[in-house]
Amino acid sequence: MSPNIKIINDIITQNSILLKYLINNSKFKIKFKKFKKFKKFKTILIIGMGGSILGAKAIYDFLKHKTKKNFIFIDNLDENYLKSIKKNNNLSKSLFIIISKSGNTIETISNTYFFKSFLKSKNTIILTENKNSFLRNLAKEKKFNFLEHKKFIGGRYSVLSEVGMLPAYLMGFKVENFKKNLGKFIYNKKIILSSANLINKLKIKSAKILVFFNYVPELNNFLYWSQQLFAESLGKNKKGFIPVISNAPKDHHSLLQLYLDGPKDKVFYIVSSSKQGNLKTKSDFFNDNVQYLSKKKYNDIKNSQKNAFLRVLKNKKIPFREINIQKFNEDTIGKLFLQFIMETIFLGKLINVNPFDQPAVEEVKMLTRKFLVSKKF
């Protein structure tokens, strides 16, 4: 057994409580029964920050073609955006889901205040830890619906828990479809070897930057979720990898020169898809100089660009891996979530950092509260 595979097996054993909870099906089926009445809402607003909301955004974007629900995500203090939501939606007939592990997240509480006149017991769910906090106490006081955020699950690892699965359930998806193959997936040797090969590339090349080079627009928010997962879990003690998101083919015309001829401190995740779209060019538009574009599907054009990029990466000996999406369904996104969670914990072990804390973030939060109290803005 190679050292890397042994490390992965050790990680599965050492984090068995977390991983078993994330891949479990039956608990969520029972818990979500009481929320079935909320499926009638067509517009659903989720208020949260970071790991409390990024996973649900990723699920919605990836599976939007399978739901008729309108989900609105509020994860910033953008006054114009907040006002536009209030102006353009019938909020008295909308559902609000407010998510914060601590129950005291400043932005989440502030945005909850903005919508306070629309929050009723019949249309509000608060998901937080069952402890003394602003949101837990608000749920009790206003008799809002409450769902517990498990203490042993950090926000950025919570997408396969209640935090991501309740929104997915209310989008109209079956939770079991995200999780039905995850038990086998954890021990899949092909996946483990893929992860181990990635780690070897990072070690050999002393890479500092992970570039997510994305040809699949439906995965943009998944990559923002991944960016937080990698950055917040691994960036500490002067160690870590900087996760950068690039969207293709747009960034062929802006960042490609740097990526290919700049510092050799990067590993690339090439995110692609085998899905074929319907958009296709016709022959009567193109002259002889660009006749190669005639009768081509847009996906064929994009795949040609991707293959050219991969060829040059290979020629220049720049390390990369390709993640190719075959099916746009719950099973696929569930496996992607779990694979990236496993790899993050694996990388933490490799560089000897704790992937479950975020001390520098806590320092900024503490000082923010201090400035607000002292009125030194």
Q: What's the token pair of residue 302?
A: 């994009």
H/E stretch holding 321:
strand 320-325
124-128, strands of its sheet edge to edge: 70-74, 43-47, 95-99, 124-128, 145-148
> What does the pLDDT look like over 266-290, one tens digit per residue?
999 999 998 878 899 888 788 888 8
28 has pLDDT over 80: no
What pLDDT is stored for residue 27 in this prediction?
A: 67
What pLDDT is stored for residue 58 in this prediction?
A: 98
> What does the pLDDT look like over 33-89, one tens digit per residue?
889 999 999 999 999 999 999 999 999 999 999 999 999 999 999 999 999 999 999
> What does the pLDDT look like over 333-375, one tens digit per residue?
999 999 899 888 888 887 889 999 998 998 999 999 999 999 7
What pLDDT is stored for residue 297 in this prediction?
A: 87
Q: Which residues contact 86 (CB under 8 A, 6 or more apart)?
A: 114, 115
H/E stretch holding 107:
helix 106-114
Catalytic residue among 40, 65, 189, 253: 253
377 has pLDDT over 70: no
Where do the CATH 3.40.50.10490 domains begin and end in the chain?
Answer: 26-179, 182-351
What pLDDT is stored for residue 295 in this prediction?
A: 86
What pLDDT is stored for residue 55 in this prediction?
A: 98
Query: What proportion of the chain, given as a percentage, has pLDDT over 90?
Result: 68
What pLDDT is stored for residue 311 in this prediction?
A: 98
204 has pLDDT over 70: no
Residue 150 is classified by DSSP as P
| pLDDT tier at 169, thresholds 50, 70, 90 | very high
Please, are residues 258 and 264 in contact by the beta-carbon 8 Å criterion?
no
What pLDDT is stored for residue 5 in this prediction?
A: 66
Q: Which amino acid is at 47?
A: I
- Relative orientation angle of helices 220-234 and 330-351, to the nearest 10 degrees: 20
- Which residue matches tokens 């900087």? 242
Catalytic residue among 64, 208, 296, 365: 365
365 is catalytic: yes
Q: Indicate the fold that domain 26-179 takes in CATH.
A: Rossmann fold (3.40.50)
**More confident call, 241 vs 224:** 224
Please, are residues 352 and 240 in contact by the beta-carbon 8 Å criterion?
no
Tell which CATH classification among 1.10.630.10, 3.60.110.10, 3.40.50.10490, 3.30.70.20 matches the domain 182-351: 3.40.50.10490
What pLDDT is stored for residue 314 in this prediction?
A: 96
H/E stretch holding 231:
helix 220-234
Query: What proportion of the chain, given as a percentage, has pLDDT over 70?
Result: 92
> What does the pLDDT look like over 107-148, one tens digit per residue?
999 999 999 999 999 999 999 999 999 999 999 999 999 999
Q: Which residues pair with 70 in a beta bridge?
A: 43
What pLDDT is stored for residue 31 in this prediction?
A: 76
196 has pLDDT over 70: no
What pLDDT is stored for residue 146 in this prediction?
A: 97
| pLDDT tier at 29, thresholds 50, 70, 90 | low
Catalytic residue among 129, 218, 232, 330: 232
